[in-house]
Structure 1
Amino acid sequence: MKVYYFDNAASSWPKPAQVTEAMSQCMNEYAANPGRGSHQMAVKAGRLLLEARSNLAKLFNIKNPVDISFAFNTTMALNQAIKGFVRAGDHVISTSMEHNSVRRPLEFLKREKGIEITYLQADAKGNVHLNDVKEAIKSNTALMVCNHSSNLLGTILPIEQISEIVKKHGIRLLVDAAQTAGTVPIDVERMGIDMLAFPGHKGLLGPQGTGGLYIHPELELEPLLHGGTGSQSEKIDQPSVRPDRYEAGTQNTVGITGLNEGLKFILHETVEKIHNKEWQLIQRLMEGLNQIEGIRLYGPDLGEDKTGIIAFNFAEMDASEAAFRFDRQFQIAVRAGHHCTPLAHESAGTLKEGAVRASVGYFTTEGEIEYFIEAARKIAMT
């Protein structure tokens, strides 16, 4: 049975064939512990991690690959960045469009360390106004943390302009690239990004259990995890060298092998090409849904830049029921509910009912878009 997959904002699927092929080869031939031994299998595993780190550096224009530490997901990377950087008495600026992976660590530090938080209120389309960033700055503001694109509305924030504002006050910028890594161009140098948290299993086309964090070379974070690294083992404290300082424990060698193949696929295709294709697909989906009576769309309008995400609701139908019908009647995979981002639903006006979210990927076809539109039409009619 064919599955029409429209849940790429949660995890991309399918993956390029070389991703699973490389993972299988790694598991069968060199899935040893990288950086912990000098035998051939361990050395080969270590070289693979270095290659993946180097490809990430190419993708994000990071000067030194060792400034990238691997993590098991964006959530872990964000926790490392936030808890490792923010200190008692600091003020942090964020937005109402953030995922709970940002909000919950911040609220934890507010309870435990007494930090201050200002959430900039986005408009119904998910836009954050630059003047609000300026007005939120205080004398003790240490960090601005925001997503590059909303996981509910697909709105893309002006990261470069935000950076220009906060850098004038010595404030560091942390960007959550969960919805843009691999699908929207990211240049940490040009965009002035101090820390970049990203997943491996979404736009980078790798498997789940992969991701990472870029940390500006001038920044020193308190490690989230402490333990074995294979380096400076005689010391009682966590190593000072990167990336070991932020990579305690055995890394996901098999997963990073798959991630590396996803990176090579993206570097070959180019992020610009991927973004353009996904934008064209989501525009056609929005156009078709707009023509169906009883469906309401949220977020940026047709023709505006965004990622491959659309949130919508049916009149007189619960979002969860609609998602159930998409799945059981039409084999279409979507996600319904609050998408771990209640503040964004408040901004969009959908906190009470939630929303259906459809998200395309690079391997989504035009035929699948038309099938989705027809399925939505039939659901709306019944």
Structure 2
Amino acid sequence: MDNKPIIYLDNAATSWPKPPAVWEAMEHSMRESAANPGRGSHAMAVKASRVLFEARKRLARLFRIKNPNDIAFTLNATHALNLAIQGLLKPGDHVITSTLEHNSIRRPLEALKRKLGIEVSYLTTNSQGELDIHLIEKAITSRTKLIAVTHSSNLLGTITPIADIGEIARRRNVRFLVDSAQSAGALSIDVEAMGIDLLAFPGHKGLLGPQGTGGLYIHPSLELEPLMQGGTGSKSEAPEQPTVRPDRYEAGTPNTVGIAGLTEGVNYVLKETTEAIHAKEQQLTFELMEGLKHIQGVHILGPDVGIERTAIVSFLLEGVDPSEMAFLLDQQFGIAVRAGFHCTPLGHETAGSYETGAVRASPGYFTEKSEIVSMIEAVKEISRTLRTIN
């Protein structure tokens, strides 16, 4: 960037900028409480333990979780999803998922198909990413152990009706895993009301924390096999992993400094409210879509303007490779977007963009309306230039 202004529209990958309190808390933690939490009784170790406990309390409040100790910290949502999927499923189990899913769900499932012989049903959505929940009910068999879906597509922005799916899962006695990578911090989530047994979330996106943070909510009635074995600071005399939560799922030294920052990110979300955050992001998203749809050659993926979605706008410009478009936006206009397949090839098949991939622009809570205007004008200029050349 070399101190040049940047218009950051890649919040679906990592949110930026962060609230000042986030990096201030990280610096304070590094200076004052960077010891190993739960591994000692000296003052600094106790401070470190409090950092983790405060983060769990804030997250429990945000997601309406009764017991903060039912939250296990992970490196990111991918780590959390692997813990949920690999920790739950056994040979012969059946899983229901959708064609919207990120590779963080698809690849662990495919790995267990090869290793354990589990069966996976991929339910196809329409081109806007809408899933007919009646297909879920029909797909359930006596061997169905898990329903795993994203709360919002990282390609299309489509919002999945997880409360309705949770009701089906609860009624049919099937466990329910939700990937909230694109919704945590932007949409209201109530694990009890929505029937969620497992909630995977990243810290570095809508929760406004640093990279290398995230977590998994695990319903108190559910026991998972740990993804890793090792030191926990509790039951150190035992050769097996302890059963007490959250230690059972948090082997090794945690990212205390990062979690200190995550706490402040969650505090910011709680103060602003997910309702206010979603309202602003959705308005920015609709303004971007409205501007792009009038540009010759532009095709926008996902739900139409006016239909609720998260802050994701994926699009194609006829005759332009998405990677070239992203390069031009960056180099000529200082606009950061993401191009390619967004780790969801099935999603691109569903949307009809598998041959090319797409350009994804994702506003955030700190995006200004003027930046949306600049993005629209940049795409207009690229389109106009290419038409002139051709």
Task: Name the TM-score, length of structure 1 as normaliser.
Answer: 0.99
Q: Distance in 2 between matches of 1:242 and 1:207?
A: 24
Shift of 1:166: 2.1
Query: Across the two proteins, how many residue pairs are aligned to each other?
Result: 382
Q: Distance in 2 between matches of 1:202 and 1:40?
A: 32
- Alignment deviations for residues 93-141 of structure 1 (CA, whole Å, 9 cap, x no partner): 0000000000000000000000000000011000110111111111100
Residue equivalent to 1:331: 334
Shift of 1:163: 1.2
Residue equivalent to 1:71: 74
Residue equivalent to 2:234: 231
Match of 2:90 among 84, 87, 90: 87
- Alignment deviations for residues 144-163 of structure 1 (CA, whole Å, 9 cap, x no partner): 00000000000000001111
Match of 2:54 among 33, 51, 55: 51
Match of 1:135 among 131, 134, 138: 138
Structural mapping, 1:102-113, within 5 Å: 102-113=105-116
Letter of the structure 2 residue corresponding to residue 332 of structure 1 = I
- Alignment deviations for residues 200-257 of structure 1 (CA, whole Å, 9 cap, x no partner): 0000000000000000000000000100000000111100000000000000000000
Shift of 1:165: 1.4
Letter of the structure 2 residue corresponding to residue 132 of structure 1 = L
Shift of 1:167: 1.8
Q: Distance in 1 between matches of 2:208 and 2:351?
A: 29
Runs of 5+ unmatched residues, structure 1: none
Query: In 1, are the aligned partners of 2:6 and 2:336 still within 8 Å (CA)?
Result: yes
Residue equivalent to 1:30: 33
SS in 2 for 1:189: coil
Q: Distance in 2 between matches of 1:132 and 1:345?
A: 21
Match status 1:275 vs 2:291: no
Letter of the structure 2 residue corresponding to residue 340 of structure 1 = C
Task: Calculate percent identity across the aligned residue pairs.
Answer: 61
Runs of 5+ unmatched residues, structure 2: 386-390
Shift of 1:169: 1.4
Q: Distance in 1 between matches of 2:137 and 2:60?
A: 31
Match of 1:290 among 277, 284, 293: 293
Residue equivalent to 2:357: 354
Match status 1:122 vs 2:125: yes
Match status 1:145 vs 2:148: yes
Shift of 1:25: 1.1
SS in 2 for 1:191: coil
Residue equivalent to 1:166: 169
- RMSD of aligned Cα (Å): 0.5
| Superposition misfits of 4+ residues, deviation over 3 angstroms | none
Q: Distance in 2 between matches of 1:77 and 1:172?
A: 16
Match status 1:261 vs 2:264: yes
SS in 2 for 1:188: coil
Residue equivalent to 2:388: none
Q: Distance in 2 between matches of 1:266 and 1:96?
A: 30
